[in-house]
Amino acid sequence: MNYFTKVLKYGLDYTYYGVLNIVFNILYAIFSALAFVSFIPMLDVLLNKQRMFILSQSILESVI
């Protein structure tokens, strides 16, 4: 255990960088999730999701 405390003493100088690393990892997770959410409307436009739904609904009504 004595060896472990000696090693940890060297790490105390880098606690600031460790805290920054955690903060920036959280920010990365938030912004990457927001980027994914922003792609959803673009994919809807590209894939014409709403138009295909209306078209399939009108086809079903004409068959019935």
For residue 63, pLDDT over 80 is answered with no
Helix (H) or strand (E) holding 1: none
Rounded CA gap, 32 and 38, in Å?
A: 10
Predicted confidence band of residue 44 (pLDDT cuts 50, 70, 90): confident
Report the share of the chain in percent with pLDDT over 70.
Answer: 73
Q: Where are the domains positioned within the chain?
A: 2-63
Q: What is the pLDDT of residue 50?
A: 55
Mean of all residue pLDDT scores within the chain: 81
Q: How far is CA 58 from CA 47, 54, 62, in A?
A: 18, 6, 6
Cα distance between residue 23 and residue 15, in whole Å: 12
pLDDT at 55 over 80: no
More confident residue, 25 or 52: 25
